[in-house]
């Protein structure tokens, strides 16, 4: 699904996330901590957004559990390369179970944006798409062109197989747009969105 070659201009991360959650329908979204959560909040807060304020490395597994618990709803995980690199083992667990309603999207700028923009492992050659395929995901590809984001968004809602996408984004630190920080509020709001009781 890569629409251009390696010399293409990296995508704007905020625009990419907006495209992924536009016309979301019943989509459930889990955002990894840091920039991914800020990007999702910037695209518009929503009761079906669950923002991780901690638990680095846990976004994909949080989405995995949610996909198993809510098999009729599409689940999208949006996280960064640093966060996903910390949770590589989670990709193996997901690949074994392969829930058809789960898509993991890694916004990859090749840097650790939360700690000073040092080059990350992906910036030094680690191929997360190859890792996901080796772990058993039904599909995995790289997105480098804005036109491909619409197709990725559509596929993430189709429940057509457990998927993974690396979206190549510019190494920028846009102004923070903070989502709600009250963990109890987020939990209760999300449970209500799922039609569950508040406890």
> Is residue 192 scored above 60 in pLDDT?
yes
Tell me the fold of 13-110+173-199: Rossmann fold (3.40.50)
Mean pLDDT of the 15-37 span: 95
Cβ neighbours of 11 (radius 10 Å): 22
Angle at 75 between CA 73 and CA 78, to 5 degrees: 160
Cβ-based neighbours of 25, under 8 Å, separated by 6 or more = 74, 157
54-58, 127-131, 163-167: range with lowest mean pLDDT: 54-58
Q: Which residues pair with 51 in a beta bridge?
A: 31
Q: What is the pLDDT of residue 137?
A: 98
Q: How far is CA 187 from CA 51, 125, 155, 193, in A?
A: 10, 37, 27, 10
The token pair that represents 99 in the structure block: 């829930």
pLDDT digits (tens, 9 = 90+) for 84-96: 998 999 999 999 9
Q: Which residues pair with 163 in a beta bridge?
A: 103, 139
Q: What is the pLDDT of residue 130?
A: 97
Q: What is the pLDDT of residue 4?
A: 36
Q: Specify whether the CB–CB gap between 59 and 36 falls below 8 A.
A: yes
Mean pLDDT of the 163-189 span: 91
The H-or-E segment that residue 157 falls in is helix 146-157
pTM: 0.91
31-35, 91-95, 104-108, 111-115: range with lowest mean pLDDT: 111-115
pLDDT digits (tens, 9 = 90+) for 44-82: 999 999 999 877 889 999 999 999 999 999 999 999 998
Q: Which residue in this structure is represented by tokens 């999207």?
A: 105
Mean pLDDT rounded to a whole number for the chain: 90
């Amino acid at each position: 699904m890569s629409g251009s070659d390696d010399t293409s201009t990296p995508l704007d991360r905020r625009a990419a996330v907006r495209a992924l959650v536009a016309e979301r329908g019943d989509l459930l979204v889990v955002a990894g901590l840091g920039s991914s959560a800020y990007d999702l909040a910037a695209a518009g807060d929503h009761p079906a957004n669950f923002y991780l304020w901690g638990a680095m490395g846990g976004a994909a597994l949080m989405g995995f559990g949610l996909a198993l618990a809510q098999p009729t709803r599409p689940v999208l995980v949006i996280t960064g390369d640093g966060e996903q690199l910390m949770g590589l083992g989670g990709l193996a667990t997901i690949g074994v179970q392969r829930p058809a309603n789960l898509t993991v999207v890694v916004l990859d700028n090749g840097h650790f944006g939360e700690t000073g923009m040092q080059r990350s492992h992906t910036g030094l050659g680690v191929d997360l798409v190859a890792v996901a395929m080796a772990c058993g995901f039904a599909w995995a590809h790289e997105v480098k062109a804005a036109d491909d984001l619409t197709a990725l968004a559509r596929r993430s809602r189709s429940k057509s197989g457990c998927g993974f996408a690396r979206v190549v984004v510019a190494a920028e630190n846009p102004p923070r747009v903070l989502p709600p920080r009250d963990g109890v509020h987020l939990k209760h709001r999300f449970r209500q969105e799922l039609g569950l009781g508040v406890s």
